[in-house]
Amino acid sequence: MVADRFSHVTDWVFDLDNTLYPPSARLFDQIEVRMTDWVMRTLGVDRAEADRLRAKYWKSHGTTLAGLIEVHGIDPDGYMHEVHDISFDPLDPDPVLAGHIGALPGRRIVYTNGSESYARKVLTARGLDGLFDAVYGVEHAGYQPKPRRAAFDAVFAIDGLDPTTSAMFEDDPRNLAVPHTLGMRTVHVAPEPHVADHIHHHTDDLSAFLSQLGGLARADKAPTS
């Protein structure tokens, strides 16, 4: 049974975008437009070049933001505020997902390459606010992004999390490599599977997957934030 493979887990770590809401919401369509506009204006390049740099930095640096910081020395706070100033209307509350997350034993955490403030807006729109003990954004890792080991080390140190008793849920398979190395149980959440040694499970339906864990013993501790 799937639940047997999670019987040791006391900390549940969830990515945000395209993990706690479906890719069909297409929030990143909005974000990518704002990212491209920001790069065009700040670096003085045309749209084609801005799109090229955005994709190049995502691939080579982990996120577009990391490339902009390390290559161009940009101020991350202004960038993050602007690119996440989007409409959350495409998101609907998901009480079924909320119920399954709330039933997980132990601590429940969000860790995103976005900002904490953006993450909390998404959680509110999805009806998931109040379910998590902590919400961490890229700023908590000093703007080092997943999939870098330094990013996970920084956030997990702040949280006091023990990876060997934790599970990680992510849509980007790159971001599960370090969690696997650290001893976490890894779950790839995406429409299509990605076969790799560092991925233990795949699901295209997070609610359905979490429903299989319903038999795990509940912990007494409730979320505090």
Tens-of-pLDDT digits for all 225 residues of the chain? 899 999 999 999 999 999 999 999 999 999 999 999 999 999 999 999 999 999 999 899 988 999 999 999 998 988 999 999 999 999 999 999 999 999 999 999 999 999 999 999 999 999 999 999 999 999 999 999 999 999 999 999 999 999 999 999 999 999 999 999 999 999 999 999 999 999 999 999 999 999 999 767 554 444 545
pLDDT of residue 155: 98
Number of other CB atoms surrounding residue 65 within 10 Å = 24
CATH 1.10.150.450 for domain 27-83: yes
pLDDT of residue 219: 42
pLDDT of residue 220: 42
pLDDT of residue 225: 52
| pTM of this structure | 0.91
Q: How many helices (H) and strands (E) does the chain have?
A: 9, 6
What is the C-alpha separation between 202 and 21, in angstroms, rounded? 16
The DSSP call for residue 185 is E
pLDDT of residue 58: 87
What is the C-alpha separation between 181 and 183, in angstroms, rounded? 5
pLDDT of residue 215: 66
pLDDT of residue 216: 77
Q: Which residues pair with 191 in a beta bridge?
A: none
pLDDT of residue 1: 84
Domain map (residue ranges) of the chain: 2-22+92-211, 27-83
pLDDT of residue 223: 53
Task: Please determine whether the domains at 2-22+92-211 and 27-83 fall in the same fold group of CATH.
Answer: no
pLDDT of residue 62: 85
Residue 134: partners with Cβ closer than 8 Å, 6 or more residues away: 107, 109, 110, 159, 225
Alpha-carbon dihedral sign for residues 140, 142, 148, 151: negative
* Options 3.40.50.300, 1.10.10.10, 3.40.50.1000, 3.40.50.2300; CATH of 2-22+92-211: 3.40.50.1000
The tokens of 155 are what?
């956030």
Q: Which residues pair with 166 in a beta bridge?
A: 11
